[in-house]
Amino acid sequence: MRRRLGGLLLLLAIAYLLGEAWAVGGWQGRPYSWTQDAISSLGVPETMWTDVGHAESTRHVAMNATFIASGARVLLATLVLAPFVPRVRWLVLPLAVVHALGTIIVGLYPTGLTAERANMHGLGAVMAIVGGAVLLAAITAAVAGRHRMLAVWTGVCALVSLLGCVLALTGVGGFGLVERLAVDAVIVWQIGTGAALLLSPAARSQRPDPALP
């Protein structure tokens, strides 16, 4: 039962992608660029001005609610699935909490006009994005040697997320694209792992394959 609940919580990460797509649908002014514009722009409540014109995210409340709900879901999934982490639990669990809290902070403090919002949002973004990439790397180490397929799947997603982080920090490529590499690799991992937990046969023991958001 606990395993199934954890799988469902992970699978519900698809709600993040739906929330983001919904927010993009409410974008007004210059066209929104999935490869250039930051995800956080969708949560800005004010009108934004750039060299190519103005833009407004009319569904900023929905985007910020999506961030907060996603972080809360990860916290709950961490609590539910914590007993299934076979190794380095002392590392995996704090990283999951950091990632989740960072996502919540991003939603509570949309990037924008004030220094407080910008600083808090920046902190939350680092916790969520870099924390998520490092979390997947830690989960890979935790399950390596015991759950081969999960380790390979998690390792690939970790590499993609870490690559996105590096490209974003170095300014290589469109920011929106590389940011989404970092963020969506974690989201896709959650969806894939959650589906696997829900579809796989019931465990023969009380400790099924570990999976953490």
DSSP string over 174-196: -HHHHHHHHHHHHHHHHHHHHHH
Q: Which residue type occupies 142?
A: A
Name the percent of the chain lying above pLDDT 90: 84
The reported pLDDT for the residue numbered 202 is 61
57 by DSSP, 3-state: which?
strand
DSSP reduced 3-state for 48:
strand
Q: Does residue 189 register a pLDDT over 70?
A: yes
Q: Quote the tokens at residue 50.
A: 């750039």
Whose tokens are 């993040």? That residue is 16
DSSP H helices in the chain: 2-11, 14-25, 60-81, 89-108, 115-143, 148-170, 175-199
Give Cα 148 distance to the centre of its chain: 23
pLDDT (tens digit, 9 = 90+) per residue, 17-48? 999 999 999 999 999 999 999 999 999 999 99
Q: What is the mean pLDDT of the chain?
A: 93
Whole-number pLDDT of residue 208? 45
Grade residue 1 by pLDDT with cuts at 50, 70 and 90. confident
Residue 6 tokens, joined: 């954890």
48-50 and 27-29 strand pairing: unpaired
- CB-neighbour burial class of residue 44 (10 A; exposed 0-12, middle 13-18, buried 19+): buried
Residue 107: which of 174, 18, 9, 16 has the closest Cα?
16
pLDDT tops 70 at residue 212: no
Output the pTM of the full model: 0.92
* Mean predicted confidence (pLDDT) in 2-22: 97
